[in-house]
Amino acid sequence: MMGRVTLRNLAAHKIRLVLTAVAVILGVAFVAGTLIFTDSMNKQFDELFSRIGTNVAVDVRAKKVVGGDDDGMAAQPVPATLLKALQGVEGVKDPKGNVSGYAAVVGKDGKIVGTPQNGPPQIGANWTDGGGYDLSSGRAPRGPGEVIVDAATAEKGGLAVGDTAQVLTAGPPARMTIVGLIDTGNLMGTTLTAFDTPTAQKLMLKPGYFSDIEMGSTGVSQAELRDRVAKVLPQGVEAVTGEQLREESKSDIASMMNFFRTFLLVFALISIFVGEFIIFNTFSMLVAQRTRELALLRAIGAARGQVTRAVIGEAVAVGVVGSTLGLAAGAGLASLLQAQMGDAGQGGLTFTATPVIWSYAVGIVVTVVSAYFPARRAAKIPPVAAMRDDVALPQRSLRIRVALGSLLTLAGAGLIGAGLAGSGGNPAIPVGAGAFAVFIGVAMLAPVISVPVLKVLGAPFARLMGSPGRLARQNALRNPRRTAATAAALMIGLALITTVNVLGATMRASIDEQVDAQFGADYMVQSQGAGGVTADALRKIGGAPGVQSASPAYDADAKIEGKDASYVAGDLPALAKAARLKMVSGSASAAPASIMVDEATAKDRGWKVGTPVPVTFTDGKVEQLTVSGVYTRSDLAGPRMISGEAHLRHTARPTVGVVLVDASAADASTKSALESAVKGYPNLEVSDQASLKADAREQVDGFVTFLTILLIMSVIIAAVGVINTLALSVIERTREIGLLRAIGISRRQLRRMIRLESIMIAVFGAMLGMGIGVAFGAALQNALADQGLGVLAVPYGTLAVYLAVAALIGVLAALWPAWRAGRMDVLKAISTE
């Protein structure tokens, strides 16, 4: 019987079902979209890597000495003379030397094809017949002036076979003729450029060397062939199986995709968390509105458990409908994410059981958990309530709620503080748990907070809008728990958005301060790709009119006292001047075996001026460097600086990351001269202090915008919650609305009353959220002050815009409930029980 009652209630209230399901749909869509998208990208990567080294049984390469050398640019080359030794190993078939490095093609528009900054790799290689790719047109390159490129790159650059294009490598830019196009299939946006082997060695490595040597097998197992090959290899060179080579590549991509999946799922969980408030509030109102109905069920013999199961049954139905529609919406979201990936997202969607299982699990569990307490309250309705005309569910005292809310808020703040203080372990866990506790605690305190705040917020409306304003304020204050639950959903989204914006403003202000305090050079020339600043470009920069000095800086990795560490290398006195280093002890020495460290590193390692430090470079050789100076923290210089001579002695392919330029006069003419000097290098950019700040702000703004867009989903769900609450509130107050119409209030005034009530709820939630967000942002800044966030900045203008947007959300959310209230038949409304 109770099953039929559940189905009847669902069929009789379709709009209510849809409104409640929307929160589930949006949250599940985020989860499903993330899982479908990452599954699709993983499949594309698997298909890509399955083609790499298909016929490779063993690969010979230099041993990786330094863990930070993930891009392979600093890896040591393998001598070509090894080919002869490998050919004599029994079981080895067709050993071939590979050359790989950075190479980019400039299109007809004068711009580098592809995205050099934080985009897909731009790979250069030597062309070998029978390699992993086939020519789609043209022929193989045969000399230093010829090149072949992948077909997708040629199309983007407006290039074709026979065209001459500029090619950028670690050497001087070269004009080359495109003699062929490569069919690469889906390379995930990667650009591929290939030369004949001598040209590739000259441009990207050095003559007589390979990046690695691969070989097939005449029938011997990969493991056995690897062991045979290892016996003829010199020290510092290793042999790995082709399977291991492919697995390493897959592992790197899998780690990246797992991080991306986790990152997106965090925002999906935020949306689901917000949705829980909406579902809880909705079912609480539904139970309150059906008090007599549920009491009648109890009066005719329904047990408490049956009433609970009936309400839970409705929640399950909502969860199933929401999960199904959310799964479909998630597929659309995954398609949208793929479209944003450009070339990297052209492989179509992959559907597995994982998104389906998690979509239904999340949708149903969240809905049932949210509806559980309202269902319990429904079961406690006494049968005698059916005989009363006006009955309300009993409300517990707010004392326990206030005490528990205060405890959770304080505990959450403590967890956040402990996490940000770095008390050990993964800081994300205590910070996330603390934020969750704060949100729950503030949500529990919101009914108490709402009364004085809504009185203040509603005062102008009551004064300026007359009766509709006074009624709106009374309606918002009538049920503080309901108002608080509705506002809490909006609070969470805006609290996180405010935190992100405070953090963004703080980063911008801190970067401006750092540039002013630490950037002592007049200009900086930096590469927008992995190619760096070539020696040829460096000469032109140093010879530009008005330039007094041009100091190259290298970024690299090494093992320092056995631990992986990054460092900056170059002319230490020049770099110290350019970074405006404040010396604690010692000085910037020009000695060829010097190392400088910041104060924190020196204290941590127990170093002082004169301390010998063993450094293992990427070539595997160890050199004793001497600490020549200790300086205060510098974000520009980093924690370690090594003399350029020491770096160059151990680096096969030194890459200049930036060039710091001092000029006789830092004016427009000098900057123009520098820009003219690098005109032939599309990957180089000249920056002064102002442009450095502008570039940094642009990156921060992009980061803030990206996170804000991800958080907007939770705000949309909160807006749906406001609509849901108001719509159910209109149904609940049907008789009251009829009486108001009967005593003379117009439809226009009635709609205004509902709009004003909605605005007050939305603005209250926004104010609560922004207050929490500013507190979170200030806590983050305080914890990260010694990591470069030294200036707290609150974007008051942006927060004012958010407050206005919250009011607009209130207006929009009230449109349908207000329209519905205005269309009620007065006589029918008055007669409603």
pLDDT tens per residue, range 674-695: 999 988 888 889 998 888 888 8
- Does residue 259 lie in a domain region? no
Q: Read off the CATH number of the domain in which 566 is found.
A: 2.40.40.20
Final residue of a structural domain among 687, 712, 742:
687
Q: Cα separation of 67 and 558, whole Å?
A: 8
What is the pLDDT averaged over residues 334-361? 77
DSSP-H helix ranges across 290-384: 291-299, 304-340, 353-379
CB contact set of 489 (below 8 Å; sequence gap of 6+): 274, 275, 277, 278, 281, 714, 717, 718, 721, 765
Going by C-alpha positions, the residue among 512, 540, 510 that lies closest to residue 525 is 540
Same domain, 212 and 133: yes
Check whether 795 has a pLDDT greater than 90.
yes
On the question of pLDDT at 351 being above 80, the answer is yes
Q: Is the distance from CB of 201 to CB of 128 less than 8 angstroms?
A: no
Q: Which two tokens stand for residue 465?
A: 């809008």
Q: What is the pLDDT of residue 396?
A: 61
Q: Which of 117-126, 760-769, 770-779, 797-806 has the lowest mean pLDDT?
A: 117-126
| Together in a domain, 544 and 474 | no
345 or 672, which is more confident: 672
Please give the pLDDT value at position 272. Answer: 85
pLDDT of residue 72: 46
Those residues whose C-beta lies under 8 Å from the C-beta of residue 406, and which sit 6 or more positions away, are 441, 445
Is the sign of the CA dihedral 519, 524, 530, 532 positive or negative? negative
- Residues 151 and 70 placed together within one structural domain of the fold: yes
The residue range of the domain holding 728 is 445-519+689-833
What's the maximum distance between 2 C-alpha atoms anywhere in the chain?
105
The tokens describing 184, both together, are 């690469």
Q: Do residues 61 and 147 both lie within one domain?
A: yes
pLDDT classification of 75: cutoffs 50, 70, 90: low
- pLDDT tens-digit profile of 503-526? 999 999 998 888 888 888 889 998
Looking at the fold, whether 100 and 236 belong to one and the same domain comes out as: yes
Within-domain flag for 124:
yes
Cα gap 754→812, rounded to integer Å = 11
Structural domain total, the chain: 3
CB atoms inside a 10 Å sphere around CB 818: 25
738 vs 821: CA distance, rounded Å: 9
Is residue 641 classed as helix, strand or coil in its secondary structure? strand
Confidence of residue 48 (pLDDT cuts 50, 70, 90): low
Residue 387 lies in a domain: no
H or E element in which residue 677 lies: helix 668-677
Q: Indicate whether 171 pLDDT > 80.
A: no
What is the gyration radius of the CA atoms in the chain, in angstroms? Answer: 33
Angle between helices 398-420 and 747-783 (to 10 degrees): 40
pLDDT of amino acid 69: 44
Residue 233 DSSP label: P
Kindly tell me if the per-residue pLDDT of 44 is higher than 80. no
Quick check: 627 and 586 in contact, CB under 8 A? yes
Between 269 and 380, the more confident residue is 269
Q: Tokens in use for 808?
A: 């607009």
The pLDDT of 584-600, averaged and rounded, is 90
Instruction: Give the whole-angstrom CA distance, residue 582 versus residue 753.
Output: 64
Task: Report the predicted TM-score, pTM, of the whole model to 2 decimal places.
Answer: 0.80
Residue 744 CA: distances (Å) to CA of 467, 494, 518, 536, 739:
11, 39, 71, 86, 9
Q: For residues 70 and 105, state if they share a domain.
A: yes
Residue 528 and residue 512 share a domain? no
Residues 6+ apart with CB under 8 A from 329: 25, 26, 28, 29, 32, 33
Average pLDDT over the chain, rounded to whole? Answer: 84
Together in a domain, 679 and 697: no
- Nearest partner of 83 among 215, 221, 200, 218, judged by Cα: 215
- Between CA 806 and CA 809 the distance in angstroms is 5
In a domain, 629, yes or no: yes
Dump pLDDT digits (tens) for 722-781: 887 777 777 767 777 788 778 888 888 888 888 898 899 999 999 999 999 999 998 888
Residue 435 lies in a domain: no
Last residue of a domain, one of 182, 210, 245: 245
Q: What Cα–Cα distance (Å) separates residue 722 from each residue in 484, 810, 817? A: 11, 7, 10
- Asked whether residue 631 falls in the same domain as residue 714, the answer is no
CA dist., res. 149 & res. 583, Å (int): 50
Domain boundary among 687, 714, 747: 687
pLDDT tens readout for residues 145-168: 999 999 888 988 999 999 999 998
How many other C-beta atoms are found inside a 10 Å radius of the C-beta of residue 743? 7
Tell me how far apart the alpha carbons of residues 119 and 117 are, in angstroms, rounded to a whole number: 5
Q: What is the mean pLDDT of residues 282-288?
A: 73
List all residues 6 or more positions away from 784 whose beta carbon is below 8 Å from its beta carbon.
420
Q: Where are the alpha helices (DSSP H) in 465-571?
A: 467-478, 480-518, 535-542
Average pLDDT over residues 237-242: 92
Q: Are 204 and 170 in contact (CB under 8 A)?
A: yes
pLDDT (mean) for 273-300: 73
494, part of any domain? yes
Domain co-membership, 806 together with 750:
yes
Q: Which of 89-103, 121-135, 334-348, 349-363 has the lowest mean pLDDT?
A: 334-348
CB neighbours of residue 144 within 10 Å: 14
Residues 84, 231 within the same domain: yes
Within a domain: 285: no
Q: Is the pLDDT of residue 118 over 60?
A: no
Written as one string, the DSSP assignment of 51-92 is HTTTT-SEEEEEPP--TT--SSTTPPPEETTHHHHHHTSTTE
Residue with the bigger pLDDT between 528 and 804: it is 804
609 plus 534 within the same structural domain = yes
- Is-contact 538 674, C-beta < 8 A? no
Confirm whether 146 is domain-assigned.
Answer: yes
Q: Tell me: the pLDDT tens digits for 699-722?
A: 899 889 888 888 888 888 888 888
